[in-house]
Amino acid sequence: MSFELAVWYEPEPISRERAERVHHALHRGEPGAAEPHPQVTAFAARLAGAEQVSPEFALVTVEPERADEVSGEVFALARECGLVCYDPQRGLVHNLAPLGVYAGMQLHTGDGMIVVDPDLGLVHDALGTLSPQNPFTALVVFGSHFIQVSPEITGYELEYKDSGRDLMLRTHVPDPEAVRTAFAEYATGGRDFLERHDWERV
């Protein structure tokens, strides 16, 4: 079994559901599934192992053990070329926007995904993949602060660290929407989640 990433052009951010439909349509060669775009050719030419399947999309296929190594490069180059990237294994789409307020912020997941400057939709969707196979999700601004979540039997353990203040906090939240709200606030520079929950210092 191989690990695949698909890259194509979209004029606006798309949902993971639409990305899945487009991905299947492109594989079937359906006309009009996506727009032909010159940056698809540019992407394929610049990345070793990328195959331009048609004027509409390119594929990167690697062995599973190389997926984490290659994925970051694929995500970054797709963004540089103005293209979306769909990960069918995780069912996640990497759009170009909207982004958070911290340049260079990284999204890390327990199943090995690392994305620099993730779009806010990807952060939202990645939190929905928490499971025994993906035991944490974190947003990290290295050297400054991070927020991290792990699933528990009755909800989620949420952690926040502010390195500048030498502050590490932990709390329990019962539902996924509270987690998504906290991550969205963090990514956009807000800290209301610190007031909304009862935290203990670690």
**Number of domains forming the structure of the chain:** 2
Last residue of a domain, one of 96, 122, 140: 96
| Torsional sign, CA 73, 74, 79, 82 | positive
pLDDT per residue as tens digits for the range 21-34:
999 999 999 999 99
Q: Which residue range is the domain that position 75 belongs to?
A: 1-96
- Per-residue pLDDT tens for 12-59? 999 999 999 999 999 999 999 999 999 999 999 999 889 999 999 999
Give the C-alpha separation, 99 to 105, whole Å: 10
Q: Please tell me the pTM assigned to this model.
A: 0.95
**Per-residue pLDDT, 69:** 87
Residues 81 and 10 in one domain: yes
- Same domain for 197 and 133: yes
Q: pLDDT of 149-160, one tens digit each?
A: 999 999 999 999
